[in-house]
Amino acid sequence: MAGIPLIGDKFPEMKVQTTHGMMNLPEKFKGQWFILFSHPADFTPVCTTEFYAFQQRYAKFKELGAELVGLSVDQVFSHIKWVEWIEENLAEKIEFPIIADTGAVAEMLGLIHPGSGTHTVRAVFFVDPQSTIRAILYYPAELGRNMDEFLRMLKGFQIADEYKVAIPANWPENELFGDDVIVPPASNLRDAEARKGQEGCLDWWLCHKKIA
């Protein structure tokens, strides 16, 4: 794949060393969602709070059929020691794998900021069961991520895929429609006319409904 992968691209194939051993991505998680997230470095304050928060919600990600994978340009020995420190000092055992990157993966995925040396930015890749990248998010070093938003995104993607709908802002607490989802707009004049005055339709192009 030429250049940095984008939304809609297949996640590039790579063999990586992790705290759980060698893995082939995306093959390792084929048929399920996985969320790969990079952090600037081990033994840093914000990153530590993030790993703690991810692990606190790990069971919820697993319930949604998703795996977590961390990454930074650190040796696997550093990852192992940091994971031990978190368990010993914060009483939280990190159960998901962390990639020990030499820099090759970070370069491939566009995770190295030009002004940051070898430190990765806080990036997040959502990859679906077909190994397609569905979302990419970037955060600066000083801003920790919101893991509840990632759970919301994952649920939203799965509902959108299953019901062929779209997800409104701040769902499931949207200011207009609550936990309803958005129905795709009518694509022809007959359907547009039929939707006028229909329950759940503000107009033919703006309809919402509840899902089971």
Q: Which residue numbers in the chain have pLDDT < 50?
A: 1
Domain 164-212 class in CATH: alpha beta
Beta strands in 20-82 (DSSP E): 21-25, 33-38, 66-72
Q: Is 207 annotated as catalytic? A: no
- pLDDT the model gives residue 1: 43
Q: Which of 16, 25, 47, 105 is catalytic?
A: 47
First to last CA, the chain: 40
Answer whether 81's CB lies under 8 Å from 87's CB.
Answer: no
Domain positions in the chain: 14-145, 164-212
Query: Among 94, 103, 101, 154, which Cα is nearest to 129's?
Result: 154
Q: Tell me the per-residue pLDDT of 153-208, one tens digit each, with 9 for 90 and over.
A: 999 999 999 999 999 999 999 999 999 999 999 999 999 999 988 999 999 999 99
Q: Confirm whether pTM is higher than 0.85.
A: yes
CATH topology of domain 14-145: Glutaredoxin (3.40.30)
Answer whether 24's CB lies under 8 Å from 15's CB.
Answer: yes
